[in-house]
Amino acid sequence: MLRILKNIAILEGVSYLVLLFNMLFIKPSNIELYKTLLYPIGMSHGLLFISYVLLTILLIKSQAWSYKTSLVILGASLLPFATFYVEKKYLR
């Protein structure tokens, strides 16, 4: 299950960056393309985010993570690039 969380962490981080790229660079230049991409990107990011949080909660007990480690791993889903850091440092 830890390997699945590692993969979801990477995918969630990539989807977050793609969502930010869509909002910051595509929206100002092409509003129609932005609207077309928003739903599939947003939906996939939402599903990956929920999967990341649920898997983390399920693994807290089985991996015997401390409260601090658990909060770092859960909080990483809120910051860009943070899931890559967590995957590298905590999930290896």
Report pLDDT for 91: 85
What tens-digit pLDDT sequence spans the chain (92 residues)? 899 999 999 999 999 999 999 999 999 999 999 999 999 999 999 999 999 999 999 999 999 999 999 999 999 999 989 999 999 998 87
The 8 Å CB, 24+ separation contacts for 30-35 are none
- Calpha distance 87→73 (Å, rounded): 9
- Calpha distance 4→55 (Å, rounded): 8
Report pLDDT for 92: 79
- Calpha distance 77→51 (Å, rounded): 11
Report pLDDT for 80: 86
Report pLDDT for 63: 92
CA angle 78/81/87 to nearest 5° reads: 95
